[in-house]
Amino acid sequence: MAAQLRAVVSSRWLANAVKTNLIGPKLCVLDGSYFPVGKRNPRTEFNQKHIPGASFFDLDECCDKRFRSWNMLPTSSDFSRYVGDLGIGNDTHVIVYDTSDMGSFSAPRVWWMFRVFGHGSVSVLDGGLKNWLAEGHPVTSDCSKPERRDFQAELNQSWVKSFEDVMENIKTKKVQVVDSRPAGRFQGTEPEAREGVLPGHFPGAISIPFKSFLDSSGKYHSTDTLAKLFKEAGVDVEKPLWASCSLGITACHVILAAHRLGLSDVALYDGSWTEFFQRAPPEYIISEGAGKKV
């Protein structure tokens, strides 16, 4: 399969592209690192060390400013403007990585954002910066602003689900919803990342923690292993599937895994648990810990 159609590319492939000066208008590398508030500053880290030729994609900037705390999708025009400023056009192959110690955390979110806005030529770097460094590939602190290009985004609304969609699905049970948060947060026994949000899950949700999709080095599992993961969790890949998490970020690991198995229409509940907890009546919060008070 042609490299630009692969959802995941190797460090070796990208290192060869860097070495042969292919990074530019037709091949763009993005650091899409994101961390919970106060943990690490991804932009500062980017300025200190990144893959040569990469630009920084700020998930806190490229979002719907009305719901900044939920990191929800921006409008098509705002996305077009933002990625155009990064030198990306509709003919650019985009490679996304992040600097998570796990190998991958937020890169699949950026990958999904391009896809939901109609840009299919986007890939995730297998194992992220962690494996890029482990394999001895170069990094730099040099930053250069790419020349702005025109990008036309067109939102595929069917891939984005709302709170109302999820509430309706809880009643109809027509769609399987996979929650990618750590098991303790799903069960309600470990704290959520956001203040004012208690852990737990909504009725009918299926738990597959996003780390399950990665091997011990932080690279993505084979498609055979991914198929087995879904099956063991009770997910029928022949039936409709949505993904959710805390902020709509790690849920994109579910969508990436499903995409690699040939499922192209898995939707994301963009507001995810942070929105659901704040809006749902207490009886819709399932938790082994302290539930939502009336």
* Domains of the chain as residue ranges with CATH: 3-155 (3.40.250.10), 158-284 (3.40.250.10)
Q: What is the pLDDT of residues 109-142, one digit of tens each?
A: 999 999 999 999 999 999 999 999 999 999 999 9
Q: What percent of the chain has pLDDT over 70?
A: 94
Q: Which of 222, 278, 270 is nearest to 243 (CA)?
A: 270
Q: 43: which 2 tokens?
A: 């932009």
Which residues are within 8 A (CB) of 86 and not within 5 positions of it... i.e. 6 or more apart?
28, 30, 55, 57, 146
Neighbour-count burial of 276, counting CB atoms closer than 10 A to its CB (0-12 exposed, 13-18 middle, 19+ buried):
buried
**CA atoms of 109 and 116, how far apart (whole Å):** 10
pLDDT at 2: 39
| pTM of structure | 0.95
- Is residue 28 annotated as a catalytic residue, yes or no? no
User: 62, 63, 245, 252: which is the annotated catalytic residue?
Assistant: 245
Q: What is the pLDDT of residues 177-205, one digit of tens each?
A: 999 999 999 999 999 988 889 999 999 99
Which residues are within 8 A (CB) of 44 and not within 5 positions of it... i.e. 6 or more apart?
none
Q: 248: which 2 tokens?
A: 């709509």
Beta bridge partners of 27: 24, 93
Evaluate whether 205 touches 244 at the Cβ level (below 8 Å). yes
What is the residue whose two structure tokens read 């690192």?
A: 33
Q: Which of 191, 175, 179 is nearest to 276 (CA)?
A: 179
Q: What is the pLDDT of residues 12-30, one digit of tens each?
A: 999 999 999 999 999 999 9
